[in-house]
Amino acid sequence: MAEMNLLQAINSALDLAMKADEQVLCFGEDVGQFGGVFRASSQLQEKYGSDRCFNTPLTEQGIVGFANGLAAQGMRPVAEVQFADYIFPAFDQIVNETAKYRYRSGNQFDVGSLTIRTPYGGGIHGGLYHSQSPEAYFTHTPGLKIVVPRNPYQAKGLLLASIQDDDPVLFFEPKRLYRAAVGDVPEDAYTLPLSKAEIVREGQDLTLVAWGAQVEVAEAAAQQASESGIECEVIDLRTLLPWDSDTIAESVRKTGRLIVTHEAPRTSGFGAEICATLQEMCFLSLESPIMRVTGLDTPFPLALEKEYLPNALKLVDAIHDSLNY
């Protein structure tokens, strides 16, 4: 075990993946000698050479297209998009190409070895284009897997699992926690299962579902609620596609109440999918409407970031609303 922050855990995962398999490549803007603008790929070029860890020209569609080609060829590319806000130029390559490669070719060709890493989320005064949480644009796309870790231990285990997985994975990293989240992480390689949610706090009064940096907010809200005698069960979804509805359903059948929280705007956010599915699965167990505590349906603002974000206090209000329904 070693104490690592979330960036160090990601760097450790990349290092181990490149060491174990020489077909693993890391590339993107400023990823090479500089080691990435957040330093996630620090020292990798020095250790594995500039053929396997390199800078690309500044073109997101080029990075993902190039990565698709490498993956189709059988290499194991880990492409970085500098901010999730800038993944949209690659949207076509991801949605029309990456996601459909295996299906459209009748499984003659695939890009299953591809992983795309990208920092996402707000709370860092990033304004409109350094704060977005675009996961729901991609959860609407069959063929992709979407993974979001919440802490250093999760980040390393889930990233190693994503790199090894034989389907393409979009790996969203909560950049607010890059240096803020610190914890014990095994120095050796290990994996955590994809498509498996994790109960991070047990409770019997209400179920709270979150992912990524928002899990910490949900845990803080659960702690505050607990002080007034309400015990929330907090679930980290971890994988958004294909997602683990069974773990949530089991919890909701016990608690009878569900709140979903995410930073992204409410309308058509992934919370909507969870609400719709869980009311189908748990209709007879629900004692109040399923609620969502999310970002507003606005672009992500700079000065009023605190007002915009779904913080613990907003969650506690919603918890009381649900209990008092």
Partner 1 sequence: MSDQRHWAEHQVNQPVFSDSLQQAIPTFCVLQTDGQVYPDATMPDIDQSLAQKIYRTSCFIRALDERMLASQRQGRISFYMTETGEEAADIGSCAALTDDDLIMGQYREQGALAFRGFTVDQFMNQIFSNEQDLGKGRQMPVHYGSRELNYMTISSPLTTQLPQAAGYAYGMKLRGQSSCVICYFGEGAASEGDFHAALNMAAVKHAPVIFFCRNNGYAISTPAHEQYAGDGIASRGPGYGIRTIRVDGNDMLAVLKATQDARAYAVESQKPVLIEAMTYRLGAHSSSDDPTGYRSRKEEQLWRHKDPVERFKLWLMAQGWWDEAQDQALKEEYRQSVSNAMKRAEKIPAPHLRDLVTDVYQQVPAHLEAQFASLEAHIQRHPEAYPKTAGRLHHG
Residues that bind partner 1 (CB under 8 A): 25, 51-52, 54, 56-57, 59, 61-62, 64-75, 77, 89, 92-93, 96-97, 100-110, 112, 142-143, 145, 166-167, 195, 242-243, 245
Query: At its nearest, how many Å lie between partner 1 and the CB of residue 15?
Result: 19
What is the C-alpha to C-alpha distance for residues 210 and 58, in angstroms, rounded to an integer? 33
Query: At its nearest, how many Å lie between partner 1 and the CB of residue 169?
Result: 11
Q: Is 130 a catalytic residue?
A: yes
Closer residue to partner 1 (CB): 6 or 194? 194
Cα three-residue angle 145-6-246, rounded to 5 degrees? 40
C-alpha atoms less than 13 angstroms from C-alpha of 34 in its C-beta half-sphere: 10
Query: At its nearest, how many Å lie between partner 1 and the CB of residue 19?
Result: 17
Per annotation, catalytic residue among 29, 97, 130, 135:
130
Closer residue to partner 1 (CB): 247 or 251? 247
Per annotation, catalytic residue among 29, 60, 216, 233:
60
139 touches 273 (CB < 8 A) = yes
CB burial string 111-130: b at 16+ within 10 A, e below? bbbbbbbbbbbbbeebeeeb
Give the distance between the most distant pair of CA atoms in the chain: 60
N residues, the chain: 325
Q: Is 60 a catalytic residue?
A: yes
Closer residue to partner 1 (CB): 92 or 287? 92
Query: At its nearest, how many Å lie between partner 1 and the CB of residue 66?
Result: 4
Closer residue to partner 1 (CB): 101 or 178? 101
Query: At its nearest, how many Å lie between partner 1 and the CB of residue 313?
Result: 34
Task: Return the H-helix or E-strand segment holding 133.
Answer: none
Whether the ω angle into residue 242 lies within 30 degrees of 0, i.e. cis, is yes
Closer residue to partner 1 (CB): 110 or 205? 110
3-state DSSP assignment of residue 175: helix
Q: Which residues are catalytic?
A: 60, 130
